[in-house]
Amino acid sequence: MYSTFMSATPKIRIDLNSSVPAYRQIVDALRVLFVEGRIRPGDSLPSVRRVALDLGVHFNTVGEAYRQLAQEGWIDLQQGKSAVVRDRGLPPPAPVEQVKQFRARLRAFVAEARASGIAPAKIVEELKSLVQELLP
């Protein structure tokens, strides 16, 4: 079962049957939009209640997601006002160890996908499309 919110683009979509908690899915989906610049500094996010209604989750779930994003420095939360996307600037460069972890986790993730029957050609397609977007 899937839910989407934001009738204006960009939308996010979560899977209510996933083993990944809903708040985590909301955080992940919004982080993608921030990182890819599809939601920009100064933009307002829809209210917690609005998102909760659209996605069919409890508003505490959305609140938790927004708090997590505030903690990560992506948004400003103020009582009674809408959440506003911050200008987070560039993060400090990750230490070498973290890059190694990224490599290991990426490989594990792709291996799991292959083991679950996703065709290598399909995976290559996704990887290449990400490469295209990341190139300056």
Q: Minimal distance in Å, beta carbon 102 to its own copies?
A: 5
Q: How far is CA 51 from the centre of its chain?
A: 15
Stretch that binds its own copies, among 3-11, 33-41, 45-53, 59-67 (CB under 8 A): 33-41
Q: Minimal distance in Å, beta carbon 27 to its own copies?
A: 9
Task: For its own copies, give the closer residue by CB, 60 or 98.
Answer: 98
- 58, 96 in Cβ contact below 8 A? no
How far is the C-alpha of 10 from the C-alpha of 23, rounded, in Å? Answer: 18
Please tell me whether residue 38 binds its own copies under the rule CB under 8 A.
no
Radius of gyration of the chain (CA): 17
Q: How far is CA 123 from the centre of its chain?
A: 20
The residue within the footprint of its own copies, chosen from 32, 48, 50, 58 (CB under 8 A), is: 32
Please tell me whether residue 8 binds its own copies under the rule CB under 8 A.
no
Please tell me whether residue 43 binds its own copies under the rule CB under 8 A.
no
How far is the C-alpha of 113 from the C-alpha of 2, rounded, in Å? Answer: 21
The number of CA neighbours under 13 Å toward the Cβ of 24 is 5
Which residues contact its own copies (rule: CB under 8 A)?
A: 13, 15, 18, 28-29, 31-32, 34-36, 72, 74, 90-94, 98-99, 101-120, 122-124, 126-128, 130-131, 134-136
